[in-house]
Amino acid sequence: GAGVSQSPSNKVTEKGKDVELRCDPISGHTALYWYRQRLGQGLEFLIYFQGNSAPDKSGLPSDRFSAERTGESVSTLTIQRTQQEDSAVYLCASSLHAGRNTGELFFGEGSRLTVL
Amino acid sequence: GNSVTQMEGPVTLSEEAFLTINCTYTATGYPSLFWYVQYPGEGLQLLLKATKADDKGSNKGFEATYRKETTSFHLEKGSVQVSDSAVYFCALARGSTLGRLYFGRGTQLTVWP
C-alpha cells in the first residue's frame, strides 16, 4: 500500500488476555519500529528491526512484550497477559534505511489498545 | 540520557497569529533534531529537521533553528492557518541508535478562523 498500515485500529480486551497487533510497512522499507504512546505521554520506543540484523529490543517494558518480523515485511507485536497499564496507542513506523540521523520515519495511524 | 521537553498545550490561536512552540533537549554528543506533526485522523509525519548546530529546518512556513548553546529547537510560524491545527512533536536522534527517535509529549495546536 501507499503507507504504513496497522490493524486493528482499536482493540478492547480484558486484563490477562493476550493481544496481537499487526503492522504492514511501506514496501521496500528495510527498517521497522514500534512505539507506544500512553495518554499524556510522549512516544516511547519499544523495538526496532533492520533487515536481517538482530532486533533492538531494548525498549520492551517487560517479557510479556514480544515482536516478530518476517523478512522485510509484516511485523506483529504481541502482548501476553495484558495489564491495565498496557493501555496505549501502539504506533508502527518504517523507513527506507536506518542511516545515521535520517529521522525520516513513516508512521501508521496506530492501534489503540484498551485493557479493562 | 536523551530526552526532549516541549511546552505543554493546548495552544489556541486565531488565524494569522504568530506561533512558537518551545522545545529543549538533553543529549550527549551531537544529536539531530526533528519536528513531527500529526493531523487529525492521520499518522505522524516529518515536518522539518536539522542535523547540526545553527542549521535551520523549514517546511510549509514553519521554521526551527538548532541552538546548541541553549539546547533548543523551537518551532515557529509567522502566520498560522486553520489547517495547521494538529499535534506537534519535537524529537531527537542519536547517530549510534540508527534512527531511533526520542520524542517529547506533543503539543496540541488549535487555530480558529
Map residue A115 onto helix, strand or coil.
strand
pLDDT tens digits, one per residue of A8-19: 999 999 999 999
Give the closest of A45, A56, A107 to B44, CB-based: A107
Q: If you search the block for the grid coordinates 503492522, which residue do you land on?
A: A23
Higher-scoring residue by pLDDT: B29, B76? B76
Which of B36, B42, B46 lies closest to A109 in CB terms?
Answer: B42
**Does A100 contact B at CB distance below 8 Å?**
yes
CA-based nearest distance B51→chain A, Å: 7
In this predicted structure, the answer to whether residue B57 has a pLDDT above a threshold of 80 is: yes
Chain A, nearest residue to B31 by Cα: A101
Neighbour tally for B9: CB within 10 Å: 15
User: How many cross-chain Cβ pairs, A to B, lie less than 8 Å apart?
Assistant: 71
By CB atoms closer than 10 A (0-12, 13-18, 19+), residue B76 is: middle
A16 touches chain B (CB under 8 A): no
Residuewise pLDDT in 10s, chain A (116 residues): 579 999 999 999 999 999 999 999 998 888 899 999 998 788 899 999 988 888 889 999 999 999 999 887 899 999 999 999 999 999 999 988 655 446 688 899 999 999 99
| Residue A103 to residue B44, Cβ atoms within 8 A | no
